[in-house]
Amino acid sequence: MTELPQAILASSEGHLVSEAKAGNYSAFEELVNRYEKKIYRLGMNITGNREDAEDVLQDAFLKAFEHLPDFREDSRFYTWIVRIAVNEALMKLRKRRNSRELPMEDSEDDNGEVVVREFADWKPNPEQQYAQAELERILQQGVNSLPPGFRTVFYLRDVEGLSTEETAELLELSVGAVKARLFRARLRLREELSKIFKRG
Protein backbone atom coordinates (compact mmCIF):
# COMPACT_ATOMS: atom_id res chain seq x y z
CA MET A 1 0.00 0.00 0.00
CA THR A 2 1.31 3.46 -0.85
CA GLU A 3 2.17 5.75 2.06
CA LEU A 4 -0.38 8.50 2.46
CA PRO A 5 0.67 12.15 2.88
CA GLN A 6 0.76 13.43 6.49
CA ALA A 7 -1.87 16.06 5.68
CA ILE A 8 -4.29 13.32 4.64
CA LEU A 9 -3.56 11.22 7.73
CA ALA A 10 -4.23 14.18 10.03
CA SER A 11 -7.45 15.26 8.32
CA SER A 12 -10.84 15.18 9.99
CA GLU A 13 -13.48 12.78 8.72
CA GLY A 14 -15.51 15.65 7.20
CA HIS A 15 -12.51 16.99 5.33
CA LEU A 16 -11.60 13.53 4.05
CA VAL A 17 -15.15 13.04 2.75
CA SER A 18 -15.07 16.40 0.97
CA GLU A 19 -11.69 15.58 -0.58
CA ALA A 20 -12.85 12.10 -1.61
CA LYS A 21 -15.99 13.52 -3.25
CA ALA A 22 -13.74 15.92 -5.17
CA GLY A 23 -11.83 12.94 -6.60
CA ASN A 24 -8.97 12.57 -4.10
CA TYR A 25 -8.45 8.78 -3.93
CA SER A 26 -5.93 9.11 -1.09
CA ALA A 27 -8.62 10.70 1.06
CA PHE A 28 -11.00 7.79 0.47
CA GLU A 29 -8.16 5.35 1.13
CA GLU A 30 -7.63 7.00 4.50
CA LEU A 31 -11.34 6.61 5.29
CA VAL A 32 -10.99 2.91 4.48
CA ASN A 33 -7.88 2.66 6.69
CA ARG A 34 -9.68 4.32 9.59
CA TYR A 35 -12.74 2.10 9.58
CA GLU A 36 -11.90 -1.19 7.85
CA LYS A 37 -11.14 -3.06 11.10
CA LYS A 38 -14.44 -1.96 12.65
CA ILE A 39 -16.40 -2.83 9.53
CA TYR A 40 -14.72 -6.24 9.28
CA ARG A 41 -15.50 -6.87 12.96
CA LEU A 42 -19.10 -5.81 12.37
CA GLY A 43 -19.39 -8.22 9.43
CA MET A 44 -17.77 -11.00 11.44
CA ASN A 45 -20.06 -10.48 14.41
CA ILE A 46 -23.24 -10.41 12.32
CA THR A 47 -22.42 -13.24 9.90
CA GLY A 48 -20.14 -15.33 12.11
CA ASN A 49 -18.11 -16.22 9.03
CA ARG A 50 -14.70 -14.85 8.01
CA GLU A 51 -15.28 -15.11 4.25
CA ASP A 52 -18.64 -13.38 4.55
CA ALA A 53 -17.07 -10.69 6.74
CA GLU A 54 -14.42 -10.05 4.10
CA ASP A 55 -17.14 -9.80 1.45
CA VAL A 56 -19.11 -7.40 3.65
CA LEU A 57 -16.01 -5.24 4.11
CA GLN A 58 -15.22 -5.07 0.40
CA ASP A 59 -18.81 -4.66 -0.78
CA ALA A 60 -19.58 -1.96 1.80
CA PHE A 61 -16.64 0.23 0.83
CA LEU A 62 -17.21 -0.40 -2.87
CA LYS A 63 -20.82 0.73 -2.55
CA ALA A 64 -19.76 3.71 -0.45
CA PHE A 65 -17.28 4.73 -3.14
CA GLU A 66 -19.84 4.30 -5.92
CA HIS A 67 -22.48 6.33 -4.06
CA LEU A 68 -20.12 8.88 -2.52
CA PRO A 69 -21.59 11.75 -4.63
CA ASP A 70 -24.98 11.06 -2.98
CA PHE A 71 -23.60 11.18 0.58
CA ARG A 72 -24.90 14.13 2.62
CA GLU A 73 -21.97 15.72 4.39
CA ASP A 74 -24.10 16.80 7.35
CA SER A 75 -24.11 13.12 8.40
CA ARG A 76 -21.24 11.05 9.78
CA PHE A 77 -19.46 8.93 7.19
CA TYR A 78 -18.89 6.21 9.81
CA THR A 79 -22.63 5.92 10.53
CA TRP A 80 -23.27 5.72 6.79
CA ILE A 81 -20.67 3.01 6.13
CA VAL A 82 -21.93 1.01 9.13
CA ARG A 83 -25.49 1.16 7.71
CA ILE A 84 -24.23 -0.12 4.34
CA ALA A 85 -22.22 -2.89 6.05
CA VAL A 86 -25.18 -3.97 8.21
CA ASN A 87 -27.35 -4.23 5.10
CA GLU A 88 -24.68 -6.25 3.29
CA ALA A 89 -24.28 -8.58 6.27
CA LEU A 90 -28.03 -9.08 6.57
CA MET A 91 -28.20 -9.93 2.87
CA LYS A 92 -25.61 -12.64 3.52
CA LEU A 93 -27.75 -14.03 6.34
CA ARG A 94 -30.90 -13.97 4.21
CA LYS A 95 -29.13 -15.85 1.42
CA ARG A 96 -27.98 -18.47 3.89
CA ARG A 97 -31.44 -18.73 5.41
CA ASN A 98 -33.02 -19.11 1.99
CA SER A 99 -30.57 -21.86 1.11
CA ARG A 100 -31.11 -23.40 4.57
CA GLU A 101 -27.41 -23.37 5.30
CA LEU A 102 -27.96 -21.37 8.49
CA PRO A 103 -31.10 -21.87 10.58
CA MET A 104 -32.27 -18.57 12.09
CA GLU A 105 -34.04 -18.23 15.44
CA ASP A 106 -36.76 -15.68 16.15
CA SER A 107 -35.86 -13.70 13.01
CA GLU A 108 -36.95 -10.06 13.02
CA ASP A 109 -37.25 -7.66 10.12
CA ASP A 110 -34.01 -6.11 8.89
CA ASN A 111 -31.93 -7.16 11.88
CA GLY A 112 -28.91 -9.49 12.14
CA GLU A 113 -27.24 -11.53 14.82
CA VAL A 114 -24.21 -10.50 16.85
CA VAL A 115 -21.30 -12.40 18.35
CA VAL A 116 -19.17 -10.49 20.80
CA ARG A 117 -15.45 -11.07 20.39
CA GLU A 118 -12.76 -9.75 22.64
CA PHE A 119 -9.07 -9.59 21.81
CA ALA A 120 -6.22 -9.40 24.30
CA ASP A 121 -3.60 -6.66 23.94
CA TRP A 122 -0.82 -8.80 25.41
CA LYS A 123 0.07 -12.46 25.40
CA PRO A 124 -1.37 -14.18 28.50
CA ASN A 125 0.11 -17.23 30.17
CA PRO A 126 -1.55 -20.61 29.41
CA GLU A 127 -3.81 -20.47 32.48
CA GLN A 128 -4.95 -16.91 31.66
CA GLN A 129 -5.35 -17.90 28.02
CA TYR A 130 -7.63 -20.80 28.95
CA ALA A 131 -9.67 -18.64 31.34
CA GLN A 132 -10.03 -15.92 28.73
CA ALA A 133 -11.06 -18.40 26.03
CA GLU A 134 -13.61 -19.95 28.39
CA LEU A 135 -15.01 -16.53 29.32
CA GLU A 136 -15.23 -15.57 25.64
CA ARG A 137 -17.03 -18.83 24.87
CA ILE A 138 -19.52 -18.24 27.70
CA LEU A 139 -20.11 -14.64 26.61
CA GLN A 140 -20.63 -15.69 23.00
CA GLN A 141 -23.03 -18.40 24.12
CA GLY A 142 -25.00 -15.82 26.10
CA VAL A 143 -25.14 -13.30 23.27
CA ASN A 144 -26.10 -16.01 20.77
CA SER A 145 -29.12 -16.82 22.91
CA LEU A 146 -30.57 -13.36 22.20
CA PRO A 147 -33.07 -12.89 19.35
CA PRO A 148 -31.32 -11.39 16.28
CA GLY A 149 -32.96 -7.97 16.68
CA PHE A 150 -31.74 -7.66 20.25
CA ARG A 151 -28.25 -8.86 19.28
CA THR A 152 -27.84 -6.16 16.64
CA VAL A 153 -28.88 -3.35 18.98
CA PHE A 154 -26.68 -4.77 21.77
CA TYR A 155 -23.69 -4.98 19.43
CA LEU A 156 -24.04 -1.48 17.98
CA ARG A 157 -24.65 0.20 21.38
CA ASP A 158 -22.56 -1.81 23.85
CA VAL A 159 -19.76 -3.10 21.63
CA GLU A 160 -19.37 -0.45 18.92
CA GLY A 161 -20.36 2.39 21.25
CA LEU A 162 -22.80 4.11 18.90
CA SER A 163 -25.29 6.47 20.49
CA THR A 164 -28.96 5.55 20.85
CA GLU A 165 -29.82 8.10 18.14
CA GLU A 166 -27.17 6.75 15.75
CA THR A 167 -28.35 3.18 16.34
CA ALA A 168 -31.96 4.19 15.73
CA GLU A 169 -31.04 5.97 12.50
CA LEU A 170 -28.88 3.06 11.37
CA LEU A 171 -31.57 0.42 11.92
CA GLU A 172 -34.47 2.69 10.95
CA LEU A 173 -36.08 2.30 14.37
CA SER A 174 -37.42 4.84 16.83
CA VAL A 175 -35.19 5.89 19.73
CA GLY A 176 -37.73 4.32 22.09
CA ALA A 177 -37.56 1.00 20.24
CA VAL A 178 -33.76 0.98 20.48
CA LYS A 179 -33.87 1.70 24.22
CA ALA A 180 -36.48 -1.02 24.77
CA ARG A 181 -34.53 -3.62 22.76
CA LEU A 182 -31.26 -2.72 24.49
CA PHE A 183 -32.87 -3.00 27.93
CA ARG A 184 -34.41 -6.37 27.10
CA ALA A 185 -31.16 -7.60 25.49
CA ARG A 186 -29.14 -6.70 28.61
CA LEU A 187 -31.75 -8.28 30.89
CA ARG A 188 -31.89 -11.51 28.86
CA LEU A 189 -28.09 -11.65 28.63
CA ARG A 190 -27.78 -11.27 32.40
CA GLU A 191 -30.32 -14.06 32.95
CA GLU A 192 -28.66 -16.34 30.40
CA LEU A 193 -25.17 -15.77 31.82
CA SER A 194 -26.49 -16.50 35.32
CA LYS A 195 -27.86 -19.84 34.07
CA ILE A 196 -24.58 -20.70 32.35
CA PHE A 197 -22.47 -19.90 35.42
CA LYS A 198 -24.82 -21.89 37.66
CA ARG A 199 -24.52 -24.90 35.35
CA GLY A 200 -20.76 -24.46 35.20
CA diameter of the chain:
59
1-103 fold: Rna Polymerase Sigma Factor; Chain: A (1.10.1740)
Tens digit of each residue's pLDDT (9 = 90 or more) over 35-85: 999 999 888 888 878 888 889 999 999 999 989 988 987 888 998 999 899
**Quick check: 188 pLDDT over 90?**
no
Percent of the chain with pLDDT over 90: 16
Please state, in angstroms and rounded to a whole number, the distance separating the CA atoms of residues 144 and 146: 5
- Return the pLDDT at 56: 92
What is 107-200's CATH number, 1.10.10.10, 3.30.565.10, 3.40.50.300, 1.20.1440.120? 1.10.10.10
Which residues make up the CATH 1.10.1740.10 domain(s) of the chain? 1-103
Check if the beta carbon of residue 175 is closer than 8 Å to that of residue 165. yes
Which residue stretches of 67-174 are H helix? Answer: 77-98, 126-144, 148-154, 164-171
Tens digit of each residue's pLDDT (9 = 90 or more) over 138-186: 777 777 778 878 888 888 888 778 888 988 888 888 999 999 888 888 8
Residues 6 or more apart from 178 whose CB is under 8 A from it? 153, 157, 164, 167, 168, 171
The mean per-residue pLDDT over the stretch 122-134 comes to 64
Q: Could you give the C-alpha distances from 19 to 7, 59, 63, 69, in angstroms and in order?
A: 12, 21, 18, 11
Which residues make up the CATH 1.10.10.10 domain(s) of the chain? 107-200
Q: pTM of whole model > 0.75?
A: no
Check if the beta carbon of residue 46 is closer than 8 Å to that of residue 89. yes
* Higher-pLDDT residue of 137, 9: 137
- Return the pLDDT at 119: 38
